[in-house]
Structure formats: structure tokens, C-alpha cells
Structure 1
């Protein structure tokens, strides 16, 4: 069997959700640098435009993925533009601290709609095209998908669900030649904490506590996380499926 090179990402069509900031922005740019054609998906068109600035290979699609019809529209946008789909990166998600005493139906629903339902519907919409290309799905989980998060149990549970979807889809879709893996980053510099509505003082406290717990002594950088998304999506990674790769500076070991 011939070994494929990373250059095989050239001309591949990649959908990256949550592309307006953080890991999603870094991933969209990294895939474009590798020669792929990228559909960057996010809610805010101005943020997406910042992602695509200077990257002509990145096309944009604004969507609220909590809308059940949005996944079909995302996949249609990629197919209408390029006629194929090779890689789906399910990166969009929401982080929310929600202690049990403050748990609400709407809070749980919002977390699972974006973190579990949306990637499921995107994968379903992409499936016929991934079957044709023998493509790959990469889900973005979290180190808290498999370690406790006191005060954020439902966020952790939503990521645990995504990891179990990854394993199950990997077995289900293997006969179609589709690989399914997940990347589980630890605390990474992004706008996620601010987007969760936390005040700046609380954000700074959380960051200090993260650094104190992480054996390598720092939070992650979106670019280094994106590097591993490319590796999981690379067609040269021919025999890896159903795996959850944790990149968290050793946090899960503590």
C-alpha cells in the first residue's frame, strides 16, 4: 500500500464550523495553508470575514447551527460551490458553567442543541458526500469530555456524548471508508469564556487556576490545536478511527 503525503489535503473540501474565532479560525486557516478549499461556518459574518482575510481559499457561510435546518444548508453551500465534501470538522460548540442548583431546562437544551444535536445533523447531511469521497469527520470535544467538571457537569456531559458518537460512528461508517475521530483540547486561549458570559475578573481567575493545574504550565494555543485537526483529517492517516486524542498539556493526568 502506498503511503499518502500531507499534500493530499490539496484540493480537498473541508467544512469547519465555529470558524469565527479560536480553534475554528486557526483550523480554517491551517487547512487553507495546506491547500484545501474551506467553508468557514459561524454565526457572525464579521468574525468570519476576519478569519478569511488574506485567505482566498476560505469561503464563508453564516449560520446558527442550533437551527435544525442549518446543517443541510451548510452542506449544500459546500456542494454547490465545489461539488464535493471530504472533511467535516465539527468544532462549533458552547461552553457554560451551570452548577446543579442553577440547572434549567433551557440551559441544558441550549448546550445539547449546539454540542450534540448540531454535529449529529451535520454529519447526517454530509454522509452521502463523505461516502463518495471516503472522507473523514473530526469532532472537537474537550478534556472535560472524560474528566469531571464541577459546576459545569452538563457541558462535560455534552462533550462526553460527542466522544461516544465519535466511537459509534467510527464503527458504523467504517465499511464506507469514512474515518471518525475526535480531538479533545484542554483549556485553550479563545473567546469561549467571554462568550459564556463570565466577567473579566472571573475569566482571569479561571486562567490562573488552569495554568496552576496543567503540568506543562500554560494554556493551549489555537494554532497548535489546529495542527492536530489537520493530522486527524489527513488522508495519509489511513488506519486511525474511533479515537479521542487529548491535547491538554497533561491536564487529564492530574
Structure 2
């Protein structure tokens, strides 16, 4: 049976790999995300896909997605959340240094200029910004991108989920368990877990399952590509695994695909770790 699958962040990485996994089943795909050009290229490569650019942290944009899905498809069989990242890095919301334990040190509160000019004479002509304001902006950006975006899209489409048989899937991170170099990212991913559990309880009577997948390090993704990770740090993360390799987008996509299948109909309110054993147990 042909299903309608909505994927946020479906243009790259795990989202794109998942799109192909569902496409091989003959499903119709709705790819949602901020980068219109990336989404449209991905959709053009797939046999039955539509791209709908939207900022999922903005209620009006999310409503436009819900309206389009209602008008064109009616029902959503699978809702998959792959969008996220660390916008605090790009938006100037987290300048300064991050220790290995993920704590934040605001070495400068300026939102622009030369970051090496710390404690200087202000020659750049910019007033210093309160480090707490900088910190608040960074944390807010990461929670909006990773938590709020998933919550808004889920709530907008909840009434459209197939009942029974609907699937809601969240992509979290190993950082939700152990933190990362960006503390706000791990915290934002961890916030998905109680929401997913509450949603599973709420939608269970309708025959809808809700699950979360928490990957470890994954190669061939924008997230780790932009991380500026040194070879030493990369190797350290690989050494934590039990199989001696990084994950691939396909590893994560295969798990998501199975959780969306009829075979996983009795699996709900679970967090499945896909990390090569880097994080063991719950």
C-alpha cells in the first residue's frame, strides 16, 4: 500500500537516506525544511516526492505545511523528524569556547567583529553584549531548531495521522545521554524524549506508534561535516564504538524504516540507540 511520508530535514544526511528507503517501497514523500534549493534537488531525484520549504520554528510556516498536506494528501502515514542541528554556532548565539564537558565560556559578548579581539580596547566600535544574553540566544536557537520544530509540526499534523497504523519518529542523538561540545544541543535533543513518551501515550489509543532513534557519530552528514572536528576527535569517537566505525545515514534510515513498518506495530514509546555500542544500555 502506498503511504504518505512527511520528512523534516529530508534534503540531506539521515533525512535523505530515509526518503530513499521509503521511496523504494513506492511511498509518496513530502520533504520539508528551510533550504529550498536543497529540498528541491532531493525531491527531483526521488520518484514521487514534493518539496515544501518552511521554517518549522515559525507557526505560520508550519501551518502552511499542514494545509498543503491536508489539501493534497489528506492523511499522513509516517511523520519523521530529521531536522535539527546547532544554529547557535552560525547565528552568533554561542561565541566563546566550549570545554570538553560541554560548558560554555563567553570570552566575548560581541555579536560580530574579530573574535580574537578579546578584552581589547573596543577599536571595532562595538559595545560588549551581556554574556548571559549571548548564552540565552544560543540556547534558544538550539531548542527552537531541535525541539520546538518537531513539536510544532507534530501538533499541526496530529489529526491527520492514519488511525490505526500511523507512525511518528524522532531523531535524537547520543548527545542526549552524554552531552556534547555544545551543551544546548544535547539538552534540546534530550527534551524530545519525554515529549515522545507523552505523545505515545496520547496517540496509542488511536493505533499510532511513537518512537525515537538516537544515533551516535554519523559520517557523510552536514552536521559532522560542519563540526570542525579534528582527526583526533573523530578517531576518539570511532574508538568508542564496538565495531570500529562511524555510522552511516543508511544505518539510521534502516532503523527508522523498520520502526515505520507493520513489523514494528507493537513497538512504541521506545528510544532506539544506533551508535555501534558507543553508548550502551538506557
Task: Specify which structure has the higher proportion of helix.
Answer: 1
Partner in structure 1 of residue 127 of structure 2: none
Alpha-carbon offset, residue 153 of structure 1: 1.9
Asked if 1:224 is matched to 2:251, the reply is yes
**How many residue pairs get matched?**
240
Deviation at 1:203, TM superposition (A): 4.7
Which ranges of structure 2 fall in alignment gaps of 5 or more residues? 90-97, 107-133
Residues 131/86 of structure 1: CA separation in 2 closer, same or farther (3 Å cut): closer
1:55 CA drift (Å): 1.6
Cα contact 1:181–1:244 (8 A) shared by 2: yes
Name the counterpart of 1:180.
210
Displacement over 4 Å in runs of 4+: 131-134
Normalising by structure 2, report the TM-score. 0.79
Residue 161 (str. 1) matches residue 191 (str. 2): yes
Which 5+ residue runs of structure 1 have no aligned equivalent?
1-9
> Is the contact made by 1:29 and 1:51 (CA closer than 8 Å) also made in structure 2?
no
- Map 1:133-152 to 2 at 5 A: 134-149=165-180, 151-152=181-182
- How far the C-alpha of 1:91 sits from its partner, in A, is 1.0
Q: What is the aligned-residue RMSD (CA, Å)?
A: 2.0
Which whole-Å deviations, capped at 9, do the CAs of 1:165-210 have from their partners, x for residues lacking one?
1111111221122110001111112011344xx44xx354432222
Structure-1 separation of matches of 2:235 and 2:60: 40
In structure 1, which of residues 78, 82, 98 is the aligned counterpart of residue 73 of structure 2?
82
Match among 86, 100, 103 for residue 104 of structure 2: 100
1:142 Cα offset (Å): 0.8
- Looking at structure 1, the residues matched to 170 and 151 of structure 2 have their Cα atoms a distance apart, in angstroms, of 10
User: Deviation at 1:160?
Assistant: 0.9
Q: Does the CA contact (< 8 Å) of 1:170 and 1:242 recur in 2?
A: yes
Query: How many angstroms apart in 1 are the aligned matches of 2:196 and 2:231?
Result: 33
Q: What is the Cα deviation at residue 132 of structure 1?
A: 4.3
The DSSP-based 3-state class of the residue aligned with 1:253 is coil
- Higher Cα Rg, which structure: 2
Give 1:51 deviation, angstroms. Answer: 1.7
